[in-house]
Amino acid sequence: MSNRNSNTEVSQSNTIVQMEKKIEDLSVQSAQASEIALSTILKAVNSKDNYSLAHAQRVCDFSLMIGEELGLSQIELSKLRLTAMYHDIGKIEIPEYILTKPSRLNEEEYFIIRKHPLLSSQILKNFDQLKDLAEFVKHHHERFDGKGYPNGLSGESIPLFSRILFIADSFDTMTSSRIYQKGLSFDVALHSLIKGSGTQFDPELVQYFVKRFKEEQHQTAA
């Protein structure tokens, strides 16, 4: 090969490396911009109910415990983190009086609040890099026995991340104190998850969560 040819090849390969780097930078910038937009929406929801931000952070922690027990890869865990963090952002479209109502919701209000998984998934679909997560968010209130919403999916036809989220979300909802309820103790809530295994929740995932949560409780107490 002549020197001239080999120089041209080196320069072409440098250009390709530079282009790949630029594309990578753009995609990192775009992912960051998406996350800023989503966290702004989450903060807006939080300004209505003074609950959703801390709830999302705890749901995130609980979901990651299950994900780690399952041995998910770092990439999968970071997708799970985003899914958990933004699972309820559709509540931005739910009237504040429903989100903060101190008494039981009536039938019409309940119908409206049940739209939030679909609304969250519609928001996520607008972000190129996060649209894969829209499906997981959409199904985070499906029950293992098929009696959940919005589609009444059952068993493993419910996406794995949605089954994880439902456990993490329910556990945090049970243990959180709100104006209208005093949160349950961790032990009572764990028992409730076990009781709902196979009907509400994926039994295998509940086992992973209970095991990991108890381990962390022991570590904190030690």
- Interface with Fe ion (CB under 5 A): 88
Rounded to an integer, what distance in angstroms lies between the CA atom of residue 198 and that of residue 81? Answer: 25
Please say which residue, 79 or 141, places its beta carbon nearer to Fe ion: 141
Least distance between Fe ion and beta carbon 73 (Å): 26
Q: Which residue is nearest to Fe ion (CB)?
A: 88
Token code pair at residue 113:
């609040």
Q: Tell me the closest approach of the beta carbon of residue 42 to Fe ion, in angstroms.
A: 13
**Residue 32 CB-density burial (10 A; 0-12 exposed, 13-18 middle, 19+ buried):** exposed
Active site residue: 43, 91, 182, 211, which one? 91
Q: Alpha-carbon distance 153 to 38, whole Å?
A: 27
Q: Which two tokens stand for residue 5?
A: 């040819």
β-sheet bridge partners, residue 181: 178
By beta-carbon proximity to Fe ion, the closer residue of 77 and 118 is: 118
Q: What is the distance between the alpha carbons of residues 117 and 125, in angstroms, rounded to a whole number?
A: 12
Helices (H), the chain: 3-49, 52-69, 74-85, 96-99, 107-113, 116-124, 134-138, 160-175, 186-195, 203-221
Nearer to Fe ion, 34 or 83 (CB): 83
91 annotated active-site: yes
Dihedral sign for Cα 172, 165, 206, 105, please. positive
CB of 88 to Fe ion, least distance (A): 5
CB of residue 167 to Fe ion, shortest distance in Å: 12
Give the catalytic positions in this structure: 91
